[in-house]
């Protein structure tokens, strides 16, 4: 009985397994899975490309240097007995100011000696003239009827006496000139850069007294990238021409403005103008340099914390040409400096397309495209990274973003126009002040008082 039970249990398990297997085979599971979900489309912002007028603003840099820099030297010898209070580093002086006075007693004595020599020479000339006249009278008394020779009339002796007078006169004038030079006179309105002598020091002829420079205006040498030369007005000079020319007229030249900035002592800004172009390419940088000029840079100006310093490093914003019908896009839309993405319509919807572009010019915000894009295309502004062409996208907020970018660009153009207007007003004020022989600050005060008087 026990053996039968042992055989029945495995048999029952096998039978049960076979039955279950048949049920499963005859009733397979139904596949209720639907179609895969459609992949989400990428949402991008776009900018419709339109032509516009764009004011190019170039950037450069340089150091301030004087218009004229000289070495002030003594043209006489002697001990320094007096110096001007302005004869010090940083001191200002005007043309004709006496900067240094030398002990002139030796030179006064030399003048007197030469005066005495001149008087003696004149006396000798008078005596020789009298002898020549007497010789002529004596010859006539002899009555020989012949024309007297030069020696008879003492003409060589008379010429020698005249030469003695001329020599003595020249020596006196030279001594007087040396006496005048015992006072060292400022050759122009300027400033002391460095002085080399002081009170009590004995100097000789041609001793260097100080380094000085003119203060009527300063210059800044600015390099321009070769690819940007056609975007800025270059004032050029031509042979047999008295003023700079840009191939059109002087008015075009006057529009070449530049704003110079420095952070040496707070935020400082000066309005200048481009006055000339150098005549050679720099041998080291292989770039062309233009010269910017700041007029009256040392006048009192409440807008500045300190006057400009020689050797000061400045950055320059140069007003370039206005590009008409320019194709301008933001730099953020350019990838690796060579390509952009645009949106094109297809039968299946909007898709991305990659376009290689050629950049004519760019700054920190914008780029002017010369090839690769056409007007009316929809430029992708949303950062994408590495995306394949043909990717389906949908446009979101394109019009709003486009208006925002156009508004920012319009605001920037308006700011540049405002800067140019302020620079023009400053130039007119400086010109009027120069005509009246006063400073710009004094002219502003006069106009302010006049307006107050009219208000009363």
Does 373 reside within a domain? yes
Q: Say what the pLDDT of residue 139 is.
A: 80
Identify whether residues 340 and 404 lie together within a single domain: yes
| Strand extents, DSSP E, 84-224 | 92-93, 98-102, 183-185, 190-195, 202-203, 208-214, 217-224
Single out the residue in 181, 198, 233 at which a domain terminates.
Answer: 181
Identify whether residues 335 and 414 lie together within a single domain: yes
Does 316 reside within a domain? no
Rama region for 145: left / alpha / beta (φ>0; ψ in -120 to 50; rest): left
Which residues face 352 on adjacent strands? 343
Q: How far is 80 from 101, CA to CA, in rounded Å?
A: 6
Single out the residue in 181, 204, 235 at which a domain terminates.
Answer: 181
Does 390 reside within a domain? yes
Place of tokens 């572009």: 357
In tens, the pLDDT along 338-367 reads 888 888 887 777 888 888 999 888 888 889
Q: How far is 312 from 63, CA to CA, in rounded Å?
A: 5
Counting the structural domains of the chain, the total is 2
Q: Say what the pLDDT of residue 36 is.
A: 47
Identify whether residues 109 and 50 lie together within a single domain: no
The pTM (predicted TM-score) of the whole model is 0.64
Q: How far is 243 from 234, CA to CA, in rounded Å?
A: 13
Q: Are 190 and 90 in contact (CB under 8 A)?
A: no
Summarize the confidence of residues 238-244 as an average pLDDT. 64
Single out the residue in 181, 197, 231 at which a domain terminates.
Answer: 181
Summarize the confidence of residues 298-313 as an average pLDDT. 75
pLDDT at 305 over 70: no
Between these two residues, 455 and 272, which has the higher pLDDT value? 272
Q: How far is 431 from 424, CA to CA, in rounded Å?
A: 11
**CATH code at position 132:** 1.10.287
Degrees (nearest 5) of the Cα angle 418, 324, 274? 50
Does 384 reside within a domain? yes
Identify whether residues 406 and 334 lie together within a single domain: yes
**CATH code at position 406:** 2.40.420.20
Does 367 reside within a domain? yes
Does 162 reside within a domain? yes
Summarize the confidence of residues 36-52 as an average pLDDT. 75
Q: Say what the pLDDT of residue 453 is.
A: 67
Identify whether residues 49 and 109 lie together within a single domain: no
Identify whether residues 47 and 135 lie together within a single domain: no
Identify whether residues 333 and 415 lie together within a single domain: yes
Does 455 reside within a domain? no
In tens, the pLDDT along 368-387 reads 988 888 888 888 888 887 78
Tokens representing residue 381 in the block: 């502004």
Does 135 reside within a domain? yes
> By residue range, what is the domain housing residue 341?
43-54+327-436
Tokens representing residue 212 in the block: 């000085």
CA atoms within a 13 Å half-sphere pointing along the CA-CB vector of 221? 12
Q: Which of 135-144, 146-155, 429-438 has the lowest mean pLDDT?
A: 429-438
Percent of the chain with pLDDT over 70: 80
Distance of alpha carbon 197 from its chain centroid, rounded?
34
Q: How far is 73 from 210, CA to CA, in rounded Å?
A: 7
């Amino acid at each position: 009985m026990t053996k039968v039970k042992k055989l029945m249990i495995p048999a029952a398990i096998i039978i049960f397994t076979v039955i279950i297997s048949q049920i499963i085979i005859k009733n397979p599971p139904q596949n209720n899975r639907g179609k895969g979900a459609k992949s989400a489309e990428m949402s991008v912002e776009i900018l419709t490309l339109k032509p516009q007028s764009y004011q190019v603003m170039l950037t450069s840099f340089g150091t301030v240097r004087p218009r004229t820099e000289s070495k002030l030297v003594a043209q006489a010898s002697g001990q320094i007995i007096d110096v001007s209070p302005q004869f010090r580093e940083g001191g200002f002086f005007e043309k004709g100011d006496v900067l240094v006075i030398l002990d002139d007693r030796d030179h006064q004595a030399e003048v007197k000696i030469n005066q005495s020599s001149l008087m003696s020479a004149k006396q000798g000339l008078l005596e020789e003239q009298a002898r020549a006249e007497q010789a002529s009278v004596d010859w006539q008394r002899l009555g020989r009827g012949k024309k007297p020779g030069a020696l008879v009339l003492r003409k060589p002796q008379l010429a020698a006496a005249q030469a003695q007078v001329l020599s003595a006169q020249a020596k006196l004038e030279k001594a007087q000139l040396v006496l005048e030079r015992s006072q060292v006179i400022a050759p122009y309105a300027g400033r002391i850069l460095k002085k080399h002598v002081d009170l009590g020091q004995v100097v000789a002829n041609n001793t260097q007294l100080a380094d000085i420079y003119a203060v009527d205006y300063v210059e800044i040498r600015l390099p321009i990238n070769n690819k940007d030369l056609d975007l800025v007005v270059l004032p050029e000079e031509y042979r047999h021409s008295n003023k700079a020319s840009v191939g059109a007229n002087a008015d075009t030249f006057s529009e070449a403005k530049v704003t110079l900035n420095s952070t040496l002592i707070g935020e400082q800004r000066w309005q200048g103008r481009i006055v000339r172009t150098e005549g050679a390419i720099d041998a080291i940088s292989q770039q062309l340099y233009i010269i910017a000029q700041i007029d009256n840079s040392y006048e009192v100006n409440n807008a500045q914390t300190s006057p400009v310093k020689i050797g000061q490093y400045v950055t320059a914003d140069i007003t370039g040409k206005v590009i008409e019908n320019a194709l301008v896009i933001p730099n953020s839309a350019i990838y690796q400096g060579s390509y952009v993405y645009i949106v094109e319509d297809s039968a299946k919807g909007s898709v991305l397309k990659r376009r290689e572009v050629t950049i004519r010019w760019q700054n920190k915000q914008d780029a002017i495209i010369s090839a690769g894009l056409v007007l009316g295309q929809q430029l992708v502004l949303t950062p994408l990274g590495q995306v394949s062409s043909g990717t389906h996208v949908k446009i979101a907020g394109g019009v709003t973003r486009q208006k925002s970018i156009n508004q920012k660009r319009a605001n920037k153009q308006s700011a540049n126009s405002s800067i140019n207007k302020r620079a023009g007003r400053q130039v007119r004020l400086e010109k009027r002040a120069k005509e009246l022989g006063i400073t710009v600050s004094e002219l502003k005060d006069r106009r302010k008082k006049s307006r107050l008087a009219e208000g009363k």
